[in-house]
Structure 1
Amino acid sequence: MPVDRFKTWKTLSFSLVLIMCGLMACHKKEMAPVPEPTPPASAFVFAKGADISWLTEMEASGVKFYNPVGNQKDCMAILKEMGLNTVRLRVWVDPQAGWNNKADVIAKAVRAKSMGMRIMIDFHYSDTWADPGKQGKPAAWANLSVSDLQVAIETHTTGVLNALKAQGIEPAWVQVGNETNDGMLWPEGRASTNMKTFAKFIASGYRAVKAVFPNAKVIVHLSDGFNNTMYRWLFDGLKNNGATWDVIGMSLYPQPSNWTMLNMQCLDNMEDMVSRYQTEVMVVEVGMSWDQEASCRSFLEDIISKTKSLPGNKGLGVLYWEPEAYANWNGYTLGAFDNRGVPTTALNAFRN
């Protein structure tokens, strides 16, 4: 081949190679692998938890906590080591001593989040304890009308939740009312005399939660998880008056002599709630005398198993109420720490 023609051919060949490489590069860019889709949400995780709302008050009083081998540690860290993954925190509107107010709740929630614990917020809508025997209105709400009470519920709820949100905390569950067997914010919201108003209060709480945290599950909570008649009465009343909820919460405080029977009745009730209202259920409070640790462990293992047995993972979890209370703290004896400040073997039920 003559030299000039060879040079021309070589130049053309090189140009063709460059063109082909460019085309291949473009094609490769256009056909780049599609990024893997975001993996689906993690599998269902059963909540094994505790209400530890007394914790900061106990610490301020100098109370110490020790792990099972006797080493002093942060109480939340001890509970996590025992297998718990969830913390429940009560909220009072304007408590006299400050404990369980917005600032105290945020402080505990920040700690819980830092340890990877999920969080449940429990609004009492009171300045102090709200339970089946007392549902007193906050002092600042004493003279409000029903419509103004609805506004107060929403304002208080969104205020606390927005403060949590500002700290990067998103609760998994929010209770609107605590052990509302006969409603809340008495006398206006007493269910036995005005179910319609109680339903309005629940609706106000529900709206407020969803406005801040659309994915948080709203709980309506009653005591006596074994009492199916009461649950049907209350939740039929709420449903018939337009109230909405995501989860039915239950309390269960048996004795060593009757826990087997009450657990079975509670399971029957949970199954009925799931079927009757197509709702999820959760045992948000349990307890037994601290010095009955063997019976308490058996009780806990059984109620955890029964709650997990509900179809479709409709049983969301079991939470112990103030297990860290010990040495007759505030006169309470149903904790799960002994008089040395060490967890009893009852809490081993949460390890599995």
Structure 2
Amino acid sequence: MGGSGTGGMGGMPVFEPSFILGADISSVQEAVDEGARYTDTDGSEKGMLELLKNHGFNYVRVRTFVDPGASYGYAFGTGGDCAKEETYCDEDHTVEFGKQIKAAGMGFLLDFHYSDTWADPGKQIIPEAWRSARSIDEMTGLLKAYTRDVVGALVSAGARPDMVQIGNEITPGMLIHVPSASTDCWGNDSVVNPQGLTGRATNQNWDNLAALLKAGIDGVKEVDDSIKIMLHVENTEDVDGVTWWVNSAKTRGVAFDVLGLSCYTAFQGEPEVWENTFNTLAETFPDLSFAIAEYNPERTKANQIMRDLPDGRGLGTFFWEPTQSGSWGSSLFTSQGGTYRANSDAFAEFDAIKASFGL
């Protein structure tokens, strides 16, 4: 990431490990409040941050939503996973989590979803409070002010993020959809904004998307210009598509430091495909650094792909939600009741990465 430095309101040194061995543990706050406990491979009980550090992890990624309590937001609903007593992933919870991360001496990647709930390639729902915007200037103003507010609150609390991600898996763009009558708290069954104002990544609309990206970046830089900026897309299996996307951003003056890609074998193919994509992108865009922003299987291979990129431009990886499993991959823990026990074989793999990479 370049040399260490300070800047802006924070005045704190930039956290720059020789290699990022990171994890997205955004669900941990909620799980702990519900009684979750974590035990390491030796059977000792630890907090999640301490446990991960014990196995070489040095960086944490945390997602944040605009207003999870809004209608169709992450905490909205009447039952199941949708009804929540607290608005997890909002600004207040993000600030508290950020303070814990920095107190643990770890790097902090803040992941702005720019939605009241999950944003991904299938849905990029405009926050409820922003849906009255009728021009791109109005929308960019709202996005910039929100970004500046959250980053400023973190800096003021001594929890300055070292890197900020402007949007989550924004291959199709961002701020595209609105809820329908059947939309749930996950954002399923949303529809394209009928007002027509979106940040879709199409040839006809890329100027709008670029304006939104610039607004988010400006919101960060006005607080602290040392913070690194990541943009995150997920179509790693499509090197031509990623190249088109990055060129579309760069030719419109979107200035960023890191390109993050998602790497799941269930969605983006085998590691050889990821490796080819990263190598091609590194040659095509010599000014960019790279990271695997999300992954699960192929732990050793994913980290080695990053390690092997030229000139240290493969910054590292972020394992997504180690306690969870699904179509994307398997948990690093076994669970019984509210106790999560670290899987010895899985963490032995990270111990080997830690030793091999000198972490």
- Same structural fold, with TM-score higher than 0.5 when normalized by the shorter chain: yes
TM-score by length of 1: 0.79
Matched, 1:336 2:328: no
Whichever structure has more strand as a proportion of its residues is 2
Aligned pairs for 1:130-145 within 5 A:
130-144=119-133, 145=135
Shift of 1:42: 9.1
Q: SS of the residue aligned with 1:338?
A: strand
Shift of 1:103: 0.7
Distance 2:63 2:14 in 1: 28
Q: SS of the residue aligned with 1:119?
A: strand
Match of 1:151 among 129, 141, 144: 141
Shift of 1:274: 2.0
Deviations 1:94-117 (A, max 9, x none): 002311001111111111111111
Amino acid at match of 1:156: Y
Shift of 1:332: 8.4
Distance 1:71 1:247 in 2: 37
Shift of 1:349: 3.0
Contact 2:264-2:328 within 8 A present in 1 as well: no
Aligned pairs for 1:48-127 within 5 A:
48-96=21-69, 97=75, 98-127=87-116
Shift of 1:339: 2.3
Shift of 1:333: 6.2
Q: CA RMSD in A?
A: 2.2
Contact 1:75-1:324 within 8 A present in 2 as well: no
Distance 1:319 1:277 in 2: 22
Amino acid at match of 1:346: A
> How many aligned positions are there?
297
Contact 1:202-1:244 within 8 A present in 2 as well: no
Matched, 1:282 2:271: no
Amino acid at match of 2:292: V
Distance 2:15 2:259 in 1: 23
Amino acid at match of 1:78: L
Amino acid at match of 1:167: A
Contact 2:15-2:107 within 8 A present in 1 as well: no
Q: SS of the residue aligned with 1:339?
A: strand
Matched, 1:239 2:250: yes
Contact 1:48-1:84 within 8 A present in 2 as well: yes
Distance 1:213 1:74 in 2: 30
Shift of 1:182: 0.8
Aligned pairs for 1:274-313 within 5 A:
274-278=282-286, 279-288=288-297, 299-313=298-312
Aligned pairs for 1:164-179 within 5 A:
164-179=154-169
- Where does residue 320 of structure 1 map in the other structure? 319
Amino acid at match of 1:111: Q
TM-score by length of 2: 0.78
Shift of 1:45: 1.5
Change (3 A) 1:273 1:131: same
Whichever structure has more helix as a proportion of its residues is 1
- The runs of 5 or more residues in structure 1 that have no matched partner are 1-39, 289-298
Q: SS of the residue aligned with 1:232?
A: helix
Distance 2:263 2:62 in 1: 18
Shift of 1:131: 0.2
Amino acid at match of 1:89: V
Distance 1:146 1:283 in 2: 31
- Where does residue 219 of structure 1 map in the other structure? 230
Change (3 A) 1:332 1:66: farther
Contact 2:109-2:163 within 8 A present in 1 as well: yes
- Where does residue 199 of structure 2 map in the other structure? 189
Distance 1:119 1:313 in 2: 19
Distance 1:151 1:336 in 2: 41
Distance 2:276 2:16 in 1: 26
Higher Cα radius of gyration: 1
Change (3 A) 1:43 1:236: closer
- The runs of 5 or more residues in structure 2 that have no matched partner are 1-12, 70-74, 76-86, 177-192, 355-359
Percent sequence identity is 30
Change (3 A) 1:181 1:347: farther
Contact 1:49-1:84 within 8 A present in 2 as well: yes
- Where does residue 346 of structure 1 map in the other structure? 346
Shift of 1:232: 1.1
